[in-house]
Amino acid sequence: MNTNLLYTILQACNYSSTLSEIADKLYLSQPYISKVLKRAEKEYGTTLVNRKETPITLTKSGLLVLEHLQIIYEAELDLKKALLQNKANQERPLNLLITNPFLYPAVLDILTKRSQKDPTFYFNLSSNPIAEPTVKIIANHHFDLIIGRKYIDSGLITLPLPSKPVYVFILKVESTKTGQIPYGIRLCYA
């Protein structure tokens, strides 16, 4: 059974007087609408639409089925959205800035090994001293991660890494109540 079609038909029952009117609205034939409803009623073992009166109405069972089909429909939309986001995240490269040119070879080696293990992992690596304020670079999403010497900047959270001269810079989040890192700012471990 096509649950999306059944959902659409049941939903249209709330705004239509007859099955013919539903068929016109959905650009389907009235016999096809009746056939879909009869199949669903046979499968569920109950009447979904009270067709004897005009306007047609959903039965209690019809309302219950519509409610659950709404949940399924929304779950399918959420799944599609999550899959699209997952695909976008897989295709989006990790953008890194190395502010200490002496760290570039080590970071490149780590990222190259990571990308050899996972062919869907992409990265862009730049090595430049920071010419503009670090907060502005992160906030504009030019880079997901900046690795380099420690900067004194009130807009950043500085986290020391195991090697003393290396730090990770993350934009401070004072405007949100949750204290979560904003979208696009990520801390990644190789």
- Whose tokens are 């990790």? That residue is 94
Q: What mean pLDDT do residues 161-177 have?
A: 52
CATH code, domain carrying 59 = 1.10.10.10
Give the model's confidence band at 118: pLDDT under 50 very low, under 70 low, under 90 confident, else very high: confident
pLDDT mean across residues, the chain = 78
Same domain, 100 and 79: no
List of E strands, the chain: 49-50, 57-58, 94-98, 123-127, 145-148, 156-160, 167-171
**What is the extent of the structural domain holding 83?**
3-87
Same domain, 69 and 145: no
The more confidently predicted of residues 20 and 91 is 20
Q: Kindly state whether residue 183 falls inside one of the protein's structural domains.
A: no
Q: Kindly state whether residue 185 falls inside one of the protein's structural domains.
A: no
Q: Kindly state whether residue 179 falls inside one of the protein's structural domains.
A: no
Same domain, 61 and 106: no
One-letter identity of residue 111: L
pLDDT at residue 183 tops 60: no
The more confidently predicted of residues 118 and 58 is 58
Residue 110: CB partners within 8 Å, gap ≥ 6? 190
**How many independent structural domains does the chain possess?**
2
Q: Kindly state whether residue 70 falls inside one of the protein's structural domains.
A: yes
pLDDT tens-digit series, residues 9-47: 999 998 999 999 999 999 999 999 999 999 999 999 999
Judging by DSSP bridges, how do beta strands 156-160 and 145-148 pair with one another? unpaired
